[in-house]
Amino acid sequence: MLLQRIDSSVAYGIARAMIDGFNRHYRLFRAESARAKHRFETADWAGQQRAQRERIEFYDLRVKECVTRLEREFQASQQPMEVWQQAKLLYIGMLVDHRQPELAETFFNSVTTKILHRSYFQNDFIFVRPAISTEYIEPEDPKSHTTYRCYYPQTLAELPDTLRRLVEDFGLRVPFENLARDVADVHDALLPLFDHRRLRANFQIQVLDSLFYRNKGAYAVGKLINGFQEVPFALPILHNDRGQLVIDALLHGEDDLLMLFSFARAYFMVDMEVPSAYVQFLRSLMPRKPRAELYNALGLAKQGKTLFYRDFLYHMRHSTDQFRIAPGIKGMVMLVFDLPSFPFVFKVIKDRFPPQKDITPEQVRAKYQLVKQHDRAGRMADTLEFSGVGFPRERFTDELIEELLREAPSQVEIGDRNGDGRAEVVLKHVYIERRMIPLNIYLQECFDALKANPDDVRARQQLEHAVIEYGNAIKDLVAANIFPGDMLWKNFGITRHGKVVFYDYDEIEYITDCNFRRVPPPRDEDDEMSGEVWYSVGPHDVFPETFGPFLLSNPLVREVFMRHHADLLDVEFWQAHQQRLRAGHIHDIFPYEQARRFSTRRAVALSPSAESAAANPAPVPPALDGAALVAASSTFSSAEGVTA
Ligand SMILES: Nc1ncnc2c1ncn2[C@@H]1O[C@H](COP(=O)(O)OP(=O)(O)OP(=O)(O)O)[C@@H](O)[C@H]1O
């Protein structure tokens, strides 16, 4: 697009309205995120969760508002190409000194694609690539704050004081229970992580200026630098039961941070003037995490989606393999396919479901939407939702095309949409989510290895880990008020970090809506011998005693499960949780293991039988008794999140 002159006042009006629309969006988004601090200080957990949920809707609302304004004031959809070309260039001009240019470009795309016909936005009218660089953007008033703060202790002895200052500088208006003790714990945990015998000239701690809020937690995120060594860290700050603050743990290293920023958790609330600078800093802590996922974690999901799509197109250009039906047991509701070289799966809702699936496609979408807005508690995969996505036909196996045309014909169009002579498969609606190893496949691999060699210690450990994690996943979901509905192994996947995550959402319900019942005793011998269900079952009835035969037919699995999670087969477990949830209790779930908590470590250190205590992490102290219900029972427990 090469324009000789920019002279359209309509184009200027469109660009101005667009940037006003975006600025309004980001102002509201930021204000809501900034209020997280107050909600944290006043322990307004229900408010925090509500805000997390509601903020997700902000973007679409602002896009709608802007579209309406553009149509009303400028009859935008009637404007010729030339006006749109000018509007885009004028808009770029308005972004030169902007603090969130990448988000503003995405906003422009969202609005433009709502107004213009697809054949237009295929070409020059949207930002296919960023036009404005996000490098080296500083806050408007760097004197009032910078993206991250630096602290330079001159000696090791100054480190505790520095850590104290670093925490105090967040200006939380709630006293700490014992900040000196917590700082000493952080200090002791930090020392072994870097070569502290030699402090280098650049010895420093950098910490992002805003805390990261999610549910009942606030996290300071930063890195310690000494010479060429860098230690990424996060400090979770929580309330104790007396309303005072505690630093609960030191999370460190890329893997801890990846768990904290996992795609299976709710989005953080962070007060950011320059989000790209936050993303850049976070990437220095987690270089393997795509920028798309960092934007998602920061609540900027539209940007996450834009970047994901750009990454996907780039990957398509730099790969040659074919989409295929995803390995594992096929779904009755979803048609799932993947591209082996790309770590995501694509899910299309089938046109028809078998009779046992008493649900409509609209209801399936509503369930996926529920998961998006709910706290995923580290146990439900986030999904990106796309409509009208085109894939090159030649990258599909014939088998997959047949399956798509058979199972979801209303969702598929095959043709040359762009008129470039190459056939495309266009999917009307598709969910995209992280690929995991389905748990049934993972367990089968263990069974096979143990069959070949019953003494295969690794396979046994893997099996044990998977079964324990599976139970923990269900317990974390329960704490988050989610009943998975279909708990078969195939509906869970295992991540790179060995976490078990649920991904089959069509039967989920709120725990508070379920009716957990005991199986009534048989009325007579006929009932007992019938092998059929002789009692009446309501739509929300759940019979935990009956889970066993479905889940635990394998004796190895059964043995591990009964040792760790027998309570899941007990109706009282479910009823007790339900009562607490109904009473408005918000559970704690931690995005790290119990053994990592300073309180656990102190309890272990004080215990006379420290060794056995270390092997069986101490019960969660009453300060966070919500956690005791769920987390203390699970050796591998992790996951923060909260619920209701
Ligand atoms: N994120 C994922 N990673 C890897 N494989 C997956 C993923 N999601 C789904 N699958 C595969 O696709 C299959 C069907 O997916 P899913 O359970 O979502 O469909 P469904 O139709 O809802 O299933 P059901 O018939 O149990 O209701 C799974 O059994 C699994 O093999």
- Beta-carbon contacts of 603 under 8 Å, excluding residues fewer than 6 positions away, are 613, 618, 621
The answer to whether the beta carbons of residues 538 and 563 sit under 8 Å apart is no
Q: Whose CA is nearest to atom 2 of ligand 1?
A: 435
What is the average pLDDT across 133-161? 91
Q: Whose CA is nearest to atom 18 of ligand 1?
A: 504
pLDDT at residue 187 above 50?
Answer: yes
Residue 333 CB less than 6 A away from ligand 1 = yes
Q: Whose CA is nearest to atom 1 of ligand 1?
A: 435
Report the nearest atom of ligand 1 relative to the CA of 505.
Answer: 22
Beta strand residue intervals within 484-564, DSSP E: 492-494, 500-502, 509-510, 515-516, 541-542
Report the nearest atom of ligand 1 relative to the CA of 491.
Answer: 17
233: which strand partners?
A: 222, 252
Residue 484 CB less than 6 A away from ligand 1 = no
Angstrom distance (rounded) from CA 173 to CA 300: 27
Angstrom distance (rounded) from CA 156 to CA 19: 49
The pLDDT confidence band at residue 140, using thresholds 50, 70 and 90, is: confident
Q: Which of 504, 506, 507 to mutate to test ligand 1, by most ligand atoms within 8 A of the CB atom?
A: 504
In tens, the pLDDT along 465-489 reads 999 999 999 999 999 999 999 999 9
The answer to whether the beta carbons of residues 634 and 471 sit under 8 Å apart is yes
Residue 494 CB less than 6 A away from ligand 1 = no
pLDDT at residue 415 above 60?
Answer: yes
Residue 493 CB less than 6 A away from ligand 1 = yes
88 labelled as ligand-binding?
A: no
The answer to whether the beta carbons of residues 231 and 253 sit under 8 Å apart is yes
Report the nearest atom of ligand 1 relative to the CA of 327.
Answer: 31
Supply the mean pLDDT for the chain: 90
**pLDDT value for 609:** 56
- Beta-carbon contacts of 39 under 8 Å, excluding residues fewer than 6 positions away, are 45, 47, 48, 51, 213
Residue 490 CB less than 6 A away from ligand 1 = yes
**pLDDT value for 545:** 93
329 labelled as ligand-binding?
A: yes
**pLDDT value for 123:** 55
Angstrom distance (rounded) from CA 306 to CA 316: 15
The answer to whether the beta carbons of residues 610 and 567 sit under 8 Å apart is no
327 labelled as ligand-binding?
A: yes
The pLDDT confidence band at residue 608, using thresholds 50, 70 and 90, is: low
**pLDDT value for 526:** 79
Angle, helices 439-452 vs 457-479, to 10°: value is: 160
pLDDT at residue 6 above 70?
Answer: yes
Residue 336 CB less than 6 A away from ligand 1 = yes
622 labelled as ligand-binding?
A: no
pLDDT at residue 641 above 80?
Answer: no
Report the nearest atom of ligand 1 relative to the CA of 507.
Answer: 27
**Entry pTM:** 0.90
Q: Which of 439, 491, 492 to mutate to test ligand 1, by most ligand atoms within 8 A of the CB atom?
A: 491
**pLDDT value for 2:** 65
The pLDDT confidence band at residue 318, using thresholds 50, 70 and 90, is: very high
328 alpha carbon to ligand 1 midpoint, in Å?
A: 8
Q: Which two tokens stand for residue 99?
A: 């603090």
- Rg (alpha carbons) of the chain, rounded to whole number: 27
Residue 381 CB less than 6 A away from ligand 1 = yes
**pLDDT value for 636:** 24
The pLDDT confidence band at residue 118, using thresholds 50, 70 and 90, is: low
Q: Which of 373-377, 496-500, 613-617 has the lowest mean pLDDT?
A: 613-617
pLDDT at residue 282 above 80?
Answer: yes
237: which strand partners?
A: 218, 247
The answer to whether the beta carbons of residues 238 and 216 sit under 8 Å apart is yes
Residue 485 CB less than 6 A away from ligand 1 = no
Give the active site residue among 182, 248, 338, 382.
Answer: 382
**Nearest CA to 450 among 594, 554, 565?**
554
Angstrom distance (rounded) from CA 137 to CA 58: 25
326 labelled as ligand-binding?
A: yes
Q: Which of 503, 507, 509 to mutate to test ligand 1, by most ligand atoms within 8 A of the CB atom?
A: 503
In tens, the pLDDT along 252-271 reads 999 999 999 999 999 999 99
Angstrom distance (rounded) from CA 170 to CA 569: 45
What is the average pLDDT across 69-94? 93
Angstrom distance (rounded) from CA 165 to CA 152: 11
Q: Whose CA is nearest to atom 7 of ligand 1?
A: 435
What is the average pLDDT across 298-324? 96
Angstrom distance (rounded) from CA 507 to CA 411: 22
Residue 503 CB less than 6 A away from ligand 1 = yes
What is the average pLDDT across 420-430? 92
pLDDT at residue 320 above 80?
Answer: yes
The answer to whether the beta carbons of residues 491 and 484 sit under 8 Å apart is yes
Give the residue, 294 or 5, on which the prediction is more confident: 294
429 alpha carbon to ligand 1 midpoint, in Å?
A: 17
433 alpha carbon to ligand 1 midpoint, in Å?
A: 11
pLDDT at residue 4 above 80?
Answer: no
Beta strand residue intervals within 78-196, DSSP E: 148-151
Q: Which two tokens stand for residue 340?
A: 């082996």
pLDDT at residue 628 above 80?
Answer: no
Residue 438 CB less than 6 A away from ligand 1 = yes
Beta strand residue intervals within 126-202, DSSP E: 148-151
469 alpha carbon to ligand 1 midpoint, in Å?
A: 19
**H helix intervals, 9-143:** 9-34, 36-41, 45-74, 81-94, 101-115, 118-121
Backbone φ and ψ of 429, nearest 5°: -150, 130
Residue 435 CB less than 6 A away from ligand 1 = yes
Helix or strand or coil: residue 508? Answer: coil
Residue 326 CB less than 6 A away from ligand 1 = yes
In tens, the pLDDT along 541-551 reads 999 999 998 89
Give the residue, 528 or 212, on which the prediction is more confident: 212
Report the nearest atom of ligand 1 relative to the CA of 333.
Answer: 21
205 labelled as ligand-binding?
A: no
Amino acid at 66: C
503 alpha carbon to ligand 1 midpoint, in Å?
A: 7
Angstrom distance (rounded) from CA 625 to CA 241: 8
**pLDDT value for 9:** 92
Q: Which two tokens stand for residue 161?
A: 């004081």
494 alpha carbon to ligand 1 midpoint, in Å?
A: 13
Angstrom distance (rounded) from CA 526 to CA 530: 6
pLDDT at residue 643 above 90?
Answer: no
CA angle, 633 as apex, 627 and 638 as ends, to 5°? 60
311 catalytic per annotation:
no
Q: Which of 9-18, 111-120, 519-528, 588-597 has the lowest mean pLDDT?
A: 111-120
Output the CA–CA distances (angstroms, integers) from residue 267 to 277, 297, 378, 626, in the order listed: 18, 5, 11, 21
**pLDDT value for 120:** 54
Q: Which of 334, 346, 368, 445 to mutate to test ligand 1, by most ligand atoms within 8 A of the CB atom?
A: 334
Q: How many CB atoms lie within 10 A of CB 158?
A: 14
329 alpha carbon to ligand 1 midpoint, in Å?
A: 7
Task: Summarize the chain as % helix, strand, coil (round to 5).
Answer: 50, 15, 35
Angstrom distance (rounded) from CA 302 to CA 61: 13
Report the nearest atom of ligand 1 relative to the CA of 364.
Answer: 22
